[in-house]
Chains A and B, each alone.
Chain A
Amino acid sequence: MNWLRGLLSRKAPPVRGLSEKGMLLYPSTGEVIRAEEALRQSGLEVAVKGPPPDLRQGCDMVVEFSLVQEMRVREVLAERNLQPLRVAVAQDHLLEPVSLFQSKELGSYLMVRAANMKITVDRRDRRIVNVSGGGCPDVPYLADMLVGQTLDAAPEPRSLGQTLCGYALQLAFDEARRQCRG
């Protein structure tokens, strides 16, 4: 129990100087997902993170980027009509999303979990047979769209999802693709 408390109360090292990271704030998680995709496609290094406590409302995330690239970031977003509500300097208070995967073999099926989402694929034909976990309302919708499709033909969850659960499903989907390369 003590080690758990230690883990939960672990403090980050004190912040020295100013952050080199900025964050892009949007009114919806769906726009965050689209902005991240647009910036990545343009070769910019970005990461999706959890917003600081005073900016949390619900199913939130922000895009973290390198402040020195702010002009390029704004240009790409303007081209795609994805201007953020606000651009802010990110100190060390952004939460890191889950980045580990858990895989389980069940006969010919592979189940991959990322954060609270799981995707299960039949290795024999690379068909998605199930999607489970999550609690946001796009999960049942995404499951309807993905189940029955092969990993190659299925739409990317990020193209349809609008929440953190949808984003986690994208991570699981990418990992399933990596593990089931044809």
Chain B
Amino acid sequence: MSWLIVGTVPRADFRLAWGPYTVQERAMEVLGANVSVARGTPALMATAFVAARALGIDPPEALIIGDTGSGEGSRALYKYLVENLERIRHAGVTFHYLMPDVVWHNKILWGLEELAERPLLVADAGFMYAAKMSGYADHYDLFTPDAGEMAFLADEVAPHPFYTRGFLLQEESMIPELIDAAFASANAARHLLVKGQTDYVVDGGRIVSRLSEPDTPAMEPIGGTGDTLTGLVTALLASGMDMTKACRTAALANRYLGVLANPTPAFGVAELLPFLPEALDLAMRDAETSL
């Protein structure tokens, strides 16, 4: 199966690129251009690449552009994607750090749904915000929110996590109720992988798995550990693994990553990556015995 990752890199001078990429230690090369692996979409891409290699499958392709927050890069990428949707013959697409824009989101979603073979659709970060705001969240196969973003999905009027009402900061203990509320208002994808102190795997509104161990508190402040989780689930789905098993295995692998790397809160994602193949191997064995 082939997969496409769509997102941005934090550089204003990075031109649109669509194609295969490689990862070497702390850097990636995408069609001749170099990108450092820190957090955001590069962290997702690097994780998916290393995990795909460990799984013995072809790594994903990437469609990326530079955007430092003005949204210009995101809009140029949206336009290019809408004009080139016929290039998507992938089994799935993971959308990531992109400026939330409902109009462009809808054009892309409708275009993808008109393809002869609709790919599996995964959304995280800014594109997940746009998907929820559009009212078409339930057209997606997987969202990967953290606890705060879960509260945002549950609040039917919030246009962004910044405006989530009332229960913010207590949401870790309220995840099951927030999941119910998000599904009741059709503001969730068909599956959710909610990342937090406890990770939840949700299928059609029903919690099918909860994982709290092993726990490494220093992972929470490390920027990009949510991106590694989305990268892991991307690679596992690309390997053909069933959705709920892929979510559970990805969550477990991300937790083992913390145990094996034994990080301080000052670590970066690049320092975690060398431990990823072993973490994934441990998680695959655990998932096999516990499912």
Q: Which of B40, B174, B267 has the most CB of A within 10 A?
A: B40
Asked if residues A122 and B266 are in contact (CB atoms below 8 Å), the reply is: yes
B interface residue count range (under 10 / 10 to 19 / 20 to 34 / 35 or more): 35 or more
Asked if residues A59 and B39 are in contact (CB atoms below 8 Å), the reply is: no
Mark A113-124 against chain B: 1 for CB-CB distance below 8 A, else 0.
101101010100
- Of all chain B residues, the one with the shortest Cβ separation from A7 is B166
- Of all chain B residues, the one with the shortest Cβ separation from A167 is B162
Which candidate, A65-73, A81-89, A128-136, is the interface stretch facing chain B?
A: A128-136
Mark A98-142 against chain B: 1 for CB-CB distance below 8 A, else 0.
101010101101010101101010100000011111111111111
19 new A-B pairs (CB below 8 Å) besides A115-B161, A132-B221, A168-B161? A4-B181, A7-B165, A28-B71, A50-B160, A56-B159, A58-B71, A95-B159, A98-B164, A116-B146, A133-B146, A136-B97, A137-B97, A137-B98, A140-B41, A140-B97, A141-B11, A162-B70, A162-B71, A166-B69
Known: A133-B146, A136-B69. A1 touches B180 (CB 8 A): yes
In the bound complex, CA of A140 to CA of B8 (Å): 9
10 A–B contact pairs at CB < 8 A?
A1-B180, A5-B181, A58-B130, A96-B165, A97-B163, A129-B265, A130-B267, A135-B127, A135-B128, A140-B8
A15 within 8 A of B: no
A24 within 8 A of B: no
Asked if residues B149 and A135 are in contact (CB atoms below 8 Å), the reply is: yes
Set of chain B residues within 8 Å of A64, measured between Cβ atoms:
none
Asked if residues A8 and B165 are in contact (CB atoms below 8 Å), the reply is: yes
Asked if residues B69 and A141 are in contact (CB atoms below 8 Å), the reply is: yes
Which residues from 59 to 85 on chain B have a C-beta closer than 8 Å to any C-beta of chain A?
67-71, 73-74
Asked if residues B148 and A116 are in contact (CB atoms below 8 Å), the reply is: yes
Asked if residues B225 and A132 are in contact (CB atoms below 8 Å), the reply is: yes
Set of chain B residues within 8 Å of A143, measured between Cβ atoms:
10, 38-40, 223
In whole Å, how far is A8's beta carbon from the nearest beta carbon of chain B? 6
A22 within 8 A of B: no
Set of chain B residues within 8 Å of A136, measured between Cβ atoms:
69, 97, 99-100, 125-126, 129
B110 within 8 A of A: no
Asked if residues B265 and A162 are in contact (CB atoms below 8 Å), the reply is: no
Q: Which of B67, B73, B126 has the most CB of A within 10 A?
A: B126
In the bound complex, CA of A166 to CA of B161 (Å): 12
Give the 7 A-B CB pairs with smallest separation, nearest first: A138-B69, A140-B40, A135-B125, A141-B10, A129-B266, A162-B69, A120-B221
Set of chain A residues within 8 Å of B156, measured between Cβ atoms:
8
- Of all chain A residues, the one with the shortest Cβ separation from B181 is A4
Set of chain A residues within 8 Å of B164, measured between Cβ atoms:
98, 115
Known: A7-B166, A30-B69. A58 touches B148 (CB 8 A): no
Which residues from 119 to 161 on chain B have a C-beta closer than 8 Å to any C-beta of chain A?
124-130, 133, 146, 148-149, 152, 154-161
A109 partner, pick from B8, B11, B128, B221, beta carbons under 8 A: B221
Known: A1-B177, A109-B265, A164-B162. A132 touches B39 (CB 8 A): yes
A57 within 8 A of B: yes
In whole Å, how far is A62's beta carbon from the nearest beta carbon of chain B? 12
In whole Å, how far is A100's beta carbon from the nearest beta carbon of chain B? 5
B208 within 8 A of A: no
In the bound complex, CA of A161 to CA of B129 (Å): 18
In the bound complex, CA of A161 to CA of B291 (Å): 44
Which residues from 10 to 41 on chain B have a C-beta closer than 8 Å to any C-beta of chain A?
10-11, 38-41
Asked if residues A137 and B133 are in contact (CB atoms below 8 Å), the reply is: no
In the bound complex, CA of A7 to CA of B174 (Å): 13
A75 within 8 A of B: no
